[in-house]
Amino acid sequence: MEHVNVNLENTPEAVDMDTGKPAVPVVSTFSSIFEIKEPALEKRPSMATKIAKKVEGFIERAASLIAKYQIVEKEHMKRGHKALYEFLANTYDFALDVFNSPHKTEIIDAMRWRIKNETGKMPSATPEMSVIVKYVADDADRQTVHNYSRALRVAFEEDVPVTSLVKYIEDAGGITKITSSKADKAKSKQNQETIAERAELLRRLYVARGALATSPAFIFNEPILQWSIKTAKSKKQDEKESSKETGDFVIMLAVLDEKTQMYRAVEGNDFGATFEMGMFRHMAARITTDVVKMKKKVQDIERAAWGESLEDRRERLLKMEEEEAEKRQKQHDENLEKMRNHPKEAEKSSEPA
């Protein structure tokens, strides 16, 4: 098996894309040589005490939210979700003040330290919104904290005003329904469409490469296993039907012979088109090749294999259909013209022989 060494020392930002050589930045000014920092704020020993007091002010405010959450848990049975949504609005209001504070880092660090001191754990990578929610909803379980902080994070990303948060949650259908922002959903949908397109191109690529393959064929004497696929037409297990579908490929399972260092095929499987597309989607999710470039490459390989690409064939067939339709329309128009000019002859020609 051939291994290719890839040099990743030169990043795209450090490489001239025209020459392929490392790009040399042009130094033309004093600031290009020496980093000039903006003047820092005047520091005094007393500043630490002032910052600590401000941080403690936020901590005390958070303590009032903790008390509110304990009340919310009791009122939840009486007032339903309304009390919880109002609590989240208060937490959201508090979080925005923390994020806008010049001492945000110190406030979040203080909360992290207190949570770790009380519970024994607080991962340093925990998002800031999750730290705040965990702090104020101190006895909530991990999943609840995740749901609350996710809803508030999405609201933050969508720039939802504090006064509109309760209605925002209600309109969404509840806290657990808020899973991602509109921008995230649109991006996710676009990514899924791109993956699906790449997966189909991968399938076409391997079919075309199979037609062009020059490697020697081998004989596999064992039967090819065709796998059954469950189709859930009913929720009842006993009403599920088994069906078989054929894919474009036979997936061989092979093992390495340690003595000969050669692979031996032990089983051939036809898992069907659905499984194959799932495999290609798995592969497509891990490649970043531009779809347009990938499509052009696949078309070139298809033309080398069959003289035309899939798109060429579709265009040719469409043109043939259009030409046939034009012929039929022309014949129809000629018949109508005959009927108008020579009605008797048209009637005779239409009579059965």
Question: Is residue 36 assigned to a domain?
Answer: no
Instruction: Please report the pLDDT score of residue 302 as a whole number.
Output: 95
Of 95-104, 115-124, 155-164, the least confident: 115-124
What mean pLDDT do residues 128-140 have?
89
* % of the chain beyond a pLDDT of 70: 75
Same domain flag for 119 and 188: no
Question: Is residue 263 assigned to a domain?
Answer: yes
Model pLDDT for residues 71-93, shown as the tens digit of each residue:
776 665 556 688 889 889 999 99
Same domain flag for 263 and 283: yes
Question: Is residue 324 assigned to a domain?
Answer: no
What mean pLDDT do residues 344-349 have?
58
Exposure class string for 226-249: b at 16+ Cβ within 10 A, else e = eeeeeeeeeeeeeeeeeeebebeb
Question: Is residue 321 assigned to a domain?
Answer: no
Same domain flag for 71 and 89: yes
Model pLDDT for residues 290-346, shown as the tens digit of each residue:
899 999 999 999 999 999 999 999 999 999 999 999 999 999 888 888 788 776 665
Same domain flag for 174 and 109: yes
In the numeric block, the tokens 């069959």 are attached to 306
Position 233 pLDDT exceeds 60: no
Same domain flag for 154 and 251: no
Q: Is 15 exposed, middle or buried (0-12, 13-18, 19+ CB in 10 A)?
A: middle
Question: Is residue 322 assigned to a domain?
Answer: no
In the numeric block, the tokens 């859930």 are attached to 232
Same domain flag for 167 and 251: no
Same domain flag for 252 and 279: yes
Residue from 21, 25, 19 nearest 10 by CA? 21
In the numeric block, the tokens 């933050």 are attached to 156
Position 189 pLDDT exceeds 80: no
Exposure class string for 293-318: b at 16+ Cβ within 10 A, else e = ebbeebbebbeebeeebbeeeeeeee
Neighbours of 149 (CB within 10 A): 23
Question: Is residue 29 assigned to a domain?
Answer: no
Q: Which residue range is the domain that position 67 belongs to?
A: 47-179
Same domain flag for 175 and 255: no
Instruction: Report yes or no: 268 and 220 within 8 Å, Cβ to Cβ.
Output: yes
* % of the chain beyond a pLDDT of 90: 35
Same domain flag for 145 and 192: no
Question: Is residue 7 assigned to a domain?
Answer: no
Per the prediction, the chain carries an average pLDDT of 79
What mean pLDDT do residues 165-181 have?
87
- The residue among 253 and 73 whose pLDDT is bigger is 253
- The residue among 344 and 256 whose pLDDT is bigger is 256
- DSSP class per residue in 105-140: HHHHHHHHHHHHHHHS---TT--HHHHHHHHHSTT-
Listed in sequence order, the DSSP H helices in 264-342 are: 273-284, 291-306, 310-341
Neighbours of 18 (CB within 10 A): 7
Which residue type sits at 228?
S
Exposure class string for 98-131: b at 16+ Cβ within 10 A, else e = beebebeebbbebbbeebeeeeeebeeebebbbb
Instruction: Please report the pLDDT score of residue 140 as a whole number.
Output: 84
Domain count along the chain: 2
Same domain flag for 194 and 168: no
What mean pLDDT do residues 157-162 have?
90
Instruction: Please report the pLDDT score of residue 344 as a whole number.
Output: 62
What mean pLDDT do residues 205-222 have?
88
List CB contacts of 233: < 8 A, sequence separation 6 or more: 239, 240, 241
Instruction: Please report the pLDDT score of residue 351 as a whole number.
Output: 55
- The residue among 274 and 44 whose pLDDT is bigger is 274
Same domain flag for 53 and 169: yes
Question: Is residue 87 assigned to a domain?
Answer: yes
